[in-house]
Amino acid sequence: MIPCLRQVSIVTNAEAEETVCARLEELFQQTPSIYTDVATGLSTVTVYQDLPAPQVAGARTRLRDALRLLKNEGLDASPGRIRIRIVPPQDWSESWKRHFKPIEVSPALLVKPTWSRRKPKRGQSVVILDPGLSFGTGQHATTLFCLEQVAACRSTASTQSFLDIGTGSGILVIAAAKLGYSPLAAFDFDPACVRISNSNVELNEVSALVQPTLGDITAAIKRGAQRYDVVCANLIHDLLIEARDRILARVDASGSLVLAGILKTQFVAVEAAYSEVGWILVKKKNEREWTSGLFRQIQSKRAKSPPT
């Protein structure tokens, strides 16, 4: 099958746009964009996907099913028009360059695409990453929270290790490498993500420090695992709960655990699952429909959360 880049959109009303946005992201694992027509008040929620022609009908069916489910849940997403169209390659490349700007995560960390001429501030580490179909560019609320915590938890006064569970594009472990964490480790269950993350690691010239590998947290050992000072798990909430003990087996007793990829409505369940085994929420961030959190063990010797 020949891949073809397509614009996948749902036209909805302003009240339903955030929920429709969340459903599109769940379906396609990509952060949607939202355009609102001031004249009509309607919003167009869009993602871009490599879809060969035989897969278009299936994508349209999934979208119809998602809209039907929203209606059954009592949400009016009208007019609910579905649009799937081919995007010319030249439009795609230029579109990324217009919409993906450098992100200053903190005074210590800057994320930018290859085409940006933005210069870092004195002492600021730079992660170079172009947007693509792998999850994690820093633009999404959950990825940005993780980046902020990776930067905030770094103490130059000591050596700190770092683990990225579900590395996606590799952005978090690359940032950790640039900020001086060592040793480093990262894995993902998706071979495509592992391939892409290793390409990004090479692009950022940190392949001597870390090479993301193929791995499934649900099949990982619970006892005897190497423990890390900072662990990031940007995963769906079901997986964060199911694999809780395996995730915690990899965090040092005085370490920090960053959990993200959680819808606001699901965060309470995640927090409860970790608090019942002695891990407390020390920092939380809500953005749009997402909630992310930084957790530490109650017995931790650390007295303070990292500066915001």
Instruction: Provide the pLDDT for residue 255.
Output: 97
Residue 61, C-beta contacts closer than 8 angstroms, at least 6 positions apart: none
Residue 151 is which amino acid? A
Any alpha helices (H) in the chain, and if so which ranges?
A: 17-28, 53-72, 89-99, 141-153, 171-179, 191-203, 237-242, 244-248, 264-275
**Phi and psi dihedrals of 218, rounded to 5?**
-70, -15
Instruction: Provide the pLDDT for residue 139.
Output: 66
Which residues of the chain fall below pLDDT 50? 1-2, 92, 133-134, 300-308
pLDDT tens profile 19-46: 999 999 889 888 888 998 888 999 999 9
> Would you say 159 and 245 are in contact if contact means Cβ atoms under 8 Å apart?
no
- Average of per-residue pLDDT values in the chain: 88
Give the integer Cα–Cα distance in Å for 135 and 123: 28
Cβ-defined contacts of 278-283 (< 8 Å, 24+): 279/248, 283/149, 283/308
pLDDT tens profile 261-287: 899 999 999 999 999 999 999 999 998
Instruction: Provide the pLDDT for residue 30.
Output: 82
50 phi-psi bin (left φ>0, alpha ψ -120 to 50, beta other): beta
| Cα 291 off chain centre by | 12
Give the integer Cα–Cα distance in Å for 167 and 138: 13
Helices 171-179 and 191-203 cross at an angle (nearest 10°) of 30
DSSP 140: S
**Which domains are present in the chain?**
5-92 (3.30.70.120), 136-297 (3.40.50.150)
DSSP 220: S
